[in-house]
Amino acid sequence: MTKITKLFVLIVLVYQYQVSAQTNNTKQLSKEELKTWYHKDFDTDTIPGVSLEKAYKEILANKKGQEIIVAVLDTKMDIYHEDLKDQIWINTDEIANNGIDDDKNGYIDDVHGWDFLSNTEGEFVKYEHLESTRIVRKYNSVFKDKKLADIADNDKEAYALYTKAFEKWENDVIKNKETLKKIKQTREAIIQGKAFLDSVYPKKEYKITELDSLIKVHENDSIITNALSEFKVGIQYNLTEERLNKYINSYQNRTQTMLNLDFDERTIPGDNADDINDNNYGSPIVYGDVPFQHATVVAGTLGAIRSNNVGMKGFSDNIKIMPVVMVASGDERDKDVALAIQYAVDNGAKVINMSWGKTLSQNEKWVNDAIKYAADKDVLLITAGGNENTNNDQVKYYLNDYNSDEKEFVDNFIVVGASTWDIQSLRASFSNYGKKHVDVFAPGVDMYTTEYGTDKYTSSRGTSLASPVVSGIAGLIRSYYPNLSAKEVKQILLESGISYDVTVAMKQEDGSVKQVPFSELSKSGKVVNAYNALVLAEKMSKNKK
């Protein structure tokens, strides 16, 4: 493949929520097996799922749990999807559309949750800054072109953040520009290839073998060869002109919004983004068509209806999903994160799923205060570990529950890495890891789940999907064993996972590849397991009575 071709295979995967690196699986599953693989049991099915089917068959068949609210802090969500509509949380203390804050919680008409990225005029944020852009925008007028020797002692911490952010922002601007250029070049090559083929095959029917023959015939003509090669790749990966135009539009939007220092991302919410106490913004409309449709795939994995015999099955019909919108295309803002956590806690969520993250933070204290607030209210927080194939022990990833002294400051917080269905390639190759900063792994590859649209389904992947697997098991535990605390549920999830005596090929800093025990990639060294978790929860619950 040419460099351009490799780039576009990558772009296709990213665009479909198929993060950057492929998993080198040695085992194959059928299309039907892939739809439910993460519910399977390794001993019974030889598939390293979470044993959910076994748990329902052997433990939960004659049990009745109580309703449990799990908040999904994410993008807008398709709350009318056939497999989600009956699982969406309803604030019974609020009367819809009467313009009154009936339950006095500070949010008017929040019947199904709250959107912190919108306003009461029906407008909502589609694109927001990357965190690097925010930091550079804030401090550029103060620190631009200055050296450390020019900075006052009380400004050095902010200056260090600025320089780190500026380097990342500058690199992102360059990469975005290069990628956009390459996409346009590939589009033109595909257009040229199609025009040439149409002249040879008027019926516009092309076979890969015929393309290979033409490429060989014209091997001395670099223009035709390149055009035909790119057109061949276009066929193989469905890179149509229309689709490429969509990618071009996406990267142009990045230039105009996420990376643009002059873009005002808070025009629609209208709040003071630097004031955590300015919290009277947003709207109750938690559904809508946004460029980055993420919450729906997360919600399906977590809590799709089990009893309706359509689509797929989530972890429990007792789970009620509370949508809280604070993610758009870009990086989540710390203020929105903190207020979203507080909203979910105050309105009854016992588990909060957060399938997103970033490597820079302006107002970490606000978020940490919200995490502590959730801990005080006995709410379990579960977040994705990231999809950059990096060690979170070396590169700080937000959210996390460690202070500046590298000590955990709460006991209600779980960070999740992604595992696969192939025991020989157990860590998903894109997944972040860390013996200290990643707690546990969960299935996160080829996850069949709900998709935004008219009752659609899709296959997705990422630690974004691994996180709701853990949240789903946590919801099960808190539904059937409500006397267990968030701290105890975390302990159960980490201790009851399955240990696999396998090694994982890990690329080292010098470029070499080293076989590392899977057990060394997270604090627990395990993959979560619903069956084992419920067995341990039963035991711990009885001991508390």
CATH of the domain at 36: 3.40.50.200
Number of domains, the chain: 2
Residue 343 has pLDDT above 70, yes or no: yes
Same domain (yes/no): 101, 244: no
| Average pLDDT score over the chain | 91
According to the model, what pLDDT value does residue 204 have?
A: 60
Q: How many CB atoms lie within 10 A of CB 381?
A: 29
Q: Which domain holds residue 346?
A: 30-128+265-544
Q: Do 316 and 464 fall within a single domain?
A: yes
- Residue 435 domain flag: yes
Residue 470 within any structural domain of the chain = yes
| Total number of residues shown for the chain | 545
Residue type, 436: K
What does the pLDDT average to over 311-316?
97
129-151 average pLDDT score:
95
3-class DSSP assignment, residue 13: helix
Q: Enter the pTM of the model.
A: 0.90
Instruction: Indicate the burial class of 263 (C-beta count within 10 angstroms; 0-12, 13-18, 19 or more).
Output: middle
SS3 69: strand
- My answer on whether 274 and 361 are in the same domain is yes
Helix (H) / strand (E) element for 441: namely strand 440-443
pLDDT for residue 310: 94
Asked which of 193, 226, 258 is the last residue of a domain, the reply is: 258
- Residue 539, burial from CB neighbour count under 10 angstroms (0-12, 13-18, 19+): exposed
Q: What is the mean pLDDT of residues 237-256?
A: 87
Asked if 73 and 113 sit in the same domain, the reply is yes
- Amino acid type, 419: S
The answer to whether residues 344 and 126 touch, using CB atoms and an 8 Å cutoff, is no
**Mean pLDDT in residue range 411-417:** 98
Residue 4 predicted with pLDDT over 50: no
**pLDDT-derived band at 418, boundaries 50, 70, 90:** very high
Same-domain check for residues 510 and 384: yes
What pLDDT sits at residue 20? 32
Q: 455 to each of 83, 147, 300, 449, 503, how far by Cα in Å?
A: 7, 56, 11, 11, 40
**Among 423, 461, 424, 468, residue whose Cα is nearest residue 444:** 461
Neighbours of 505 (CB within 10 A): 13
Most confidently modeled range among 177-186, 194-203, 495-504 = 495-504
**Can you give the pLDDT at residue 203?**
58
In angstroms, rounded to a whole number, what is the distance separating the alpha carbons of residues 448 and 35?
5
Is the pLDDT at 164 greater than 60? The verdict is yes
pLDDT category, 22, cuts 50, 70, 90?
very low
pLDDT greater than 60 at residue 471: yes
In 3D space, the residue among 506, 486, 488 whose CA is nearest the CA of residue 496 turns out to be 488
210: exposed, middle or buried (Cβ count in 10 Å: 0-12, 13-18, 19+): middle
Are 110 and 245 contained in the same domain? no
Q: Is residue 22 part of a domain?
A: no
Question: Who contacts 444 (Cβ-Cβ below 8 Å, separation ≥6)?
Answer: 416, 417, 418, 419, 420, 428, 431, 461, 462, 463, 464, 465, 466, 469
pLDDT(23) > 70:
no
Exposed (0-12), middle (13-18) or buried (19+): which is 47, by Cβ within 10 Å?
Answer: buried
**pLDDT given for residue 333 in this prediction:** 97
Distance CA 166, CA 143 (A): 10
**pLDDT for 384 beyond 60:** yes
Average pLDDT of span 24-45:
87
Closest CA to 319 of 451, 458, 533, 474: 474
Percent of the chain with pLDDT over 70: 92
- Domain termination residue (choose one: 235, 258, 281): 258
Question: What does the block give as tokens for 7?
Answer: 């780039």
Q: Is residue 6 included in any domain, yes or no?
A: no
Give the bridge partners for 139, in sequence order: none
Last residue of a domain, one of 258, 283, 298: 258
The answer to whether residue 505 is domain-embedded is yes
Q: For 16-20, 261-265, 393-397, 496-500, which range has the lowest pLDDT when averaged over its residues?
A: 16-20
pLDDT at 195 (0 to 100): 77
Same domain membership, residue 150 and residue 120:
no
pLDDT value at 509 more than 80: no
pLDDT recorded at residue 513: 87
Task: Mark whether 241 and 379 lie in a shared domain.
Answer: no
Same domain, 252 and 272: no
Provide the pLDDT for residue 468: 98
Kindly report which listed range (103-112, 376-385, 503-512) carries the lowest average pLDDT score.
503-512
Whether 179 and 240 share a structural domain: yes
Strand (E) or helix (H) holding 57: none
Domain shared by 121 and 143, yes or no: no
Residue entry with tokens 């992102």: 172
Average of pLDDT values for 174-193?
87
Per residue in 430-465, pLDDT tens? 999 999 999 999 999 999 999 999 899 999 999 999
At residue 8, the pLDDT reads 42
The stretch 22-47 carries a mean pLDDT of: 84
- pLDDT value of position 208: 65
Q: Is 232 helix (H, G, I), strand (E, B) or coil?
A: helix
User: Quick check: is 18 in a domain?
Assistant: no
- Does 123 share its domain with 199? no
